[in-house]
Amino acid sequence: MIVLGIDTATSMVSVAVVNGTTVLASSELRSDRRHAEDLTPMIDFVVKRAGLAFRELDAVAVNVGPGLFTGMRVGIAAAQALAYALSVPLVGVDGLEALVAAVPAASAEHVEIIVPTIDARRREVAWAMHSVESRRVVAPQVGGLEDLLAGVRERGQHCLFVGDFARRHHDDIISGLGPQAWNVSFGDDALDWPHAKQVALIAHERLLHDEALPQHVPRVGALYLREADAEINWVTRSNV
């Protein structure tokens, strides 16, 4: 089964094509507020690089967040349009789950819980918790760093932090956990961002198990976790 994966939910835009568990082609680009301009040529490039025609795609998958509001919307809109034009299934994938899926088995050898993190801006972080078997044990949520640390303290297990936010706040996490800091570790920069490769591979697995079925009008919803900045600002001004 050939699946096209799209990820525009963070500042790292990526596109990939997989056939089963084999990655045929992929591309990524650091894109600051240029997601819409970068995505279309990247999709065309990756499909051609895989030696395919668009009609050979069996499904489309997209990272639905959490992440940048505009970025998520760009990726979801493109994925929905493509799936509709090709009459193929559309699968929405949680970007935090995609981060966990990228963790090499060796990195999780002595770990009990994997904690994926994505910068939610406004000094907040989107995070979740997964077992090393990729089973989600704490649902995606957004809050301050202290909320994340409280969740880690409550688990009291050996945690592996992954994601750009965790690496950038390494010292704050260590000092915030105090005596529990010995029980945590951090992924390297290869695990900073969710990637379309994992998005496509997760979608492939779900399709094999009939967890995602063809839709007449393919649609997926964004995993916002909170209101958009523009909506928050409007509410704030309205209450002044």
Question: Is 89 exposed, middle or buried, given 0-12, 13-18 or 19+ CB atoms closer than 10 A?
Answer: buried
Give the 3-state secondary structure of residue 181: helix
Positions of the chain with pLDDT lower than 50, given as ranges: 229-240
pLDDT given for residue 238 in this prediction: 40
Q: What is the architecture, at CATH level 2, of domain 2-95+194-238?
A: 2-Layer Sandwich (3.30)
Based on its alpha-carbon atoms, the radius of gyration of the chain, rounded to whole angstroms, reads 18
Contact of 196 with 14, CB cutoff 8 Å: yes
Question: Is 122 exposed, middle or buried, given 0-12, 13-18 or 19+ CB atoms closer than 10 A?
Answer: exposed
Q: At what angle do helices 170-177 and 145-155 cross, to 10 degrees?
A: 50
Q: In this predicted model, what pLDDT tens digit does every residue of 177-206 receive, in sequence order?
A: 999 899 999 999 999 999 999 999 999 999
Per-domain boundaries in the chain: 2-95+194-238, 104-191
**Helix then strand then coil, % of the chain, to nearest 5:** 45, 25, 30
Contact of 96 with 104, CB cutoff 8 Å: no
Query: If you search the block for the tokens 């094509």, which residue do you land on?
Result: 17
Give the 3-state secondary structure of residue 150: helix
pLDDT given for residue 212 in this prediction: 54
Domain 104-191 has CATH 1.10.10.10: no
